[in-house]
Structure 1
Amino acid sequence: MKLTLAFLQIVLLLPSFSFSIRTNYTSIFSFGDSYIDTGNLVILYGGLATTAPDALITKPPYGMTFFGRPNGRASDAEALGLPLLPPSLAANQSFRRGANFAVGRATALERAFFVDNGFKAITSFNISLTVQLGWFDALKPSLCSSPQECEEYFAEALFIVGEIGYVDYGVMLLAGKSVDEVGSHMPQIIGKICAATEKLIDEGAKTVVVWGIPPLGCAAGNLVLFARQTGGELEPDTGCLKDLNQLSKDHNAQLRRALARLAGDGSGVRIIYADFYSPIIDFAVAPERHGFDAGGAIRACCGSGGGRYNFDLAAQCGMPGVSACVDPSAYVDWDGVHLTEAANRRVADGWLRGRYAHPPILSTTD
Structure 2
Amino acid sequence: MPTNMRILPILAIISIFLPFAKSINFDVPAVFNFGDSNSDTGELIAAGIESLYPPNGQTYFKVPSGRYCDGRLIIDFLMDAMDLPFLNAYLDSLGLPNFRKGCNFAAAASTILPATATSLSPFSFGVQVSQFIRFKARVLELLAKGRKFEKYVPADDFFKKGLYMFDIGQNDLAGAFYSKSLDQILGSIPSILLEFENGIKKLYDEGARYFWIHNTGPLGCLAQNVAKFGTDPSKLDELGCVSSHNEAAKTFNLQLHALRSKLQGQYPDANVTYVDIYTIKSNLIANYSKYGFEQPIMACCGNGGPPLNYDSRVSCGQTKVVNGTTITAKACTDSNEYINWDGIHYTEAANQYVASQILTGKYSDPPFSDKMPFLLKLRF
**TM superposition score normalised by structure 2:** 0.79
Q: Which of 166, 173, 178 is the equivalent residue of 2:170?
A: 166
Aligned counterpart, 1:318 = 317
The answer to whether the 8 A contact 1:299-1:310 is kept is yes
Output aligned runs, 1:119-268, within 5 Å.
120=118, 122-123=119-120, 125-144=121-140, 152-162=157-167, 164-174=168-178, 176-227=179-230, 232-236=234-238, 238-265=239-266, 267-268=268-269
Distance 1:191 1:266, change over 3 A: closer
Q: Which of 59, 62, 75 is the equivalent residue of 1:65?
A: 59
**2:85 is equivalent to residue 90 of structure 1:** no
Query: Percent of pairs identical after alignment?
Result: 32
The answer to whether the 8 A contact 1:347-1:356 is kept is no
Alpha-carbon separation, structure 2, partners of 1:358 and 1:192? 22
Runs (5+) with no aligned partner, structure 2: 1-17, 80-85, 144-153, 320-327, 374-380
Aligned counterpart, 1:102 = 106
Distance apart, 1:232 and its partner CA: 4.4
SS of residue matched to 1:297: strand
Of stretches 190-199 and 241-250 in structure 1, the one that deviates more from structure 2 is 190-199
Q: What RMSD, in angstroms, separates the aligned Cα atoms of the two structures?
A: 2.6
Distance apart, 1:364 and its partner CA: 3.9
SS of residue matched to 2:244: helix
Runs (5+) with no aligned partner, structure 1: 1-8, 15-20, 46-53
The answer to whether the 8 A contact 2:105-2:131 is kept is yes
Distance apart, 1:41 and its partner CA: 0.7
SS of residue matched to 2:300: coil
Distance apart, 1:280 and its partner CA: 1.6
The answer to whether the 8 A contact 2:21-2:359 is kept is no
Distance 1:103 1:259, change over 3 A: same
Aligned counterpart, 2:377 = none
Distance apart, 1:169 and its partner CA: 2.1
The answer to whether the 8 A contact 2:211-2:273 is kept is yes
Alpha-carbon separation, structure 2, partners of 1:281 and 1:156? 33
Aligned counterpart, 1:304 = 303
Q: Which of 39, 50, 55 is the equivalent residue of 2:50?
A: 55
The answer to whether the 8 A contact 1:32-1:101 is kept is yes
Alpha-carbon separation, structure 2, partners of 1:12 and 1:241? 33
The answer to whether the 8 A contact 2:56-2:71 is kept is no
Of stretches 164-173 and 244-253 in structure 1, the one that deviates more from structure 2 is 164-173
Distance 1:322 1:232, change over 3 A: same
The answer to whether the 8 A contact 2:71-2:348 is kept is yes
Count, aligned residues:
328
Distance apart, 1:357 and its partner CA: 2.5
Alpha-carbon separation, structure 2, partners of 1:78 and 1:281? 20
Q: Which of 11, 25, 28 is the equivalent residue of 1:25?
A: 28
Alpha-carbon separation, structure 1, partners of 2:264 and 2:177? 32
Distance 1:190 1:151, change over 3 A: farther
What is the one-letter code of the residue matched to 2:160? A
**2:357 is equivalent to residue 354 of structure 1:** no
Distance apart, 1:211 and its partner CA: 1.2
Distance apart, 1:200 and its partner CA: 2.0
**TM superposition score normalised by structure 1:** 0.82
Distance apart, 1:272 and its partner CA: 1.2
